[in-house]
Amino acid sequence: MSDATVLLEVRGLGRRFEPRAGGGQAMFAIRDLSFDVRDGELLTIVGPSGSGKSTLLNLIAQIDAPTEGEIRFRGEAIAGPNMRALRPGWDRQFGYVTQDDTLLPWRTLLDNVLFPLRVQGRLSAHTRERAADLMRAVGLERFERYYPHELSGGMRKRAALIRTLVYDPPVILMDEPFGALDAQTRTQLQTDLLTLWSLGRKTIVFVTHDIAEAIALGDRALVFTRAPARVQSEHRIPIARPRDVRNIYLLDGFAETYQRIRKELS
């Protein structure tokens, strides 16, 4: 794995937020942040809440621009202080599953899943079939015609995940996507994610504040410091795949990795 090609390079990245009118001082959410993401890996990032993890994903997704440093994708600089215009998603190279499910409330579940294909002008019998397959894979096939408000949080999360997978972006950014779910649903979704990942082998950057989740899912986990966030340490996850997320606590290597990361975060 260590000789796999580097897909994404983050170099000396910083994002400063100006003070609000009426007081306070400018502060960096992240600063001097550097790391690599390799092709096909599932990289998890853990850090205390408020440590700039979401800011980082927004910078990679090109929703926001860095104050300093740069991001390179396949060797090409895609973000830096000298680049003016943002290109959200970098021409569909980056999928982004956010904390909120951001489904369009006025579209049925199926229409939400098909939304990227529709705006990209790629709706066809073939892509519709792919969407149907993905819906079936996560057990949503019976709920195609329902509106988001009629469905549970777990189902909406699944739909949001499928919506990103359906247009097949090579890199998927995930920002605590399973944060607000009950433990059982969460485990199920983690299992679903690993299954889908093993089928497609995409590159995933998965942000969480839950150490157990970072270990259960990742090939590698980065631990972030408090804001301004930098990489405090890097941990290879020694647990073999396929992994049984439900019993992850019992697997070899879990307890020891967990202790190591916990000590660093405290």
**Which residues form the interface with other proteins (CB under 8 A)?**
61-63, 88-89, 91-92, 94-96, 98, 100, 102, 104-108, 115-116, 118-120, 143, 146-147, 149-155, 157-158, 163-164, 167, 181-182, 184-185, 188
Q: Judged by CB, which is closer to other proteins: 27, or 104?
A: 104
Q: Judged by CB, which is closer to other proteins: 143, or 254?
A: 143
Q: What is the CA radius of gyration of the chain?
A: 19
Query: What CA–CA distance (Å, rounded) separates 47 from 104?
Result: 30
**Smallest separation, CB 120 to other proteins (Å):** 5
Q: Are 12 and 67 in contact (CB under 8 A)?
A: no
Question: CA-CA distances (angstroms) from residue 251 to 204, 220, 258?
Answer: 23, 16, 12
Structure tokens at 161: 């995940």
**Smallest separation, CB 221 to other proteins (Å):** 25
Q: Judged by CB, which is closer to other proteins: 17, or 146?
A: 146
Q: Judged by CB, which is closer to other proteins: 151, or 237?
A: 151
Q: Judged by CB, which is closer to other proteins: 94, or 197?
A: 94
**Smallest separation, CB 117 to other proteins (Å):** 9
**Smallest separation, CB 47 to other proteins (Å):** 22
**Smallest separation, CB 19 to other proteins (Å):** 21
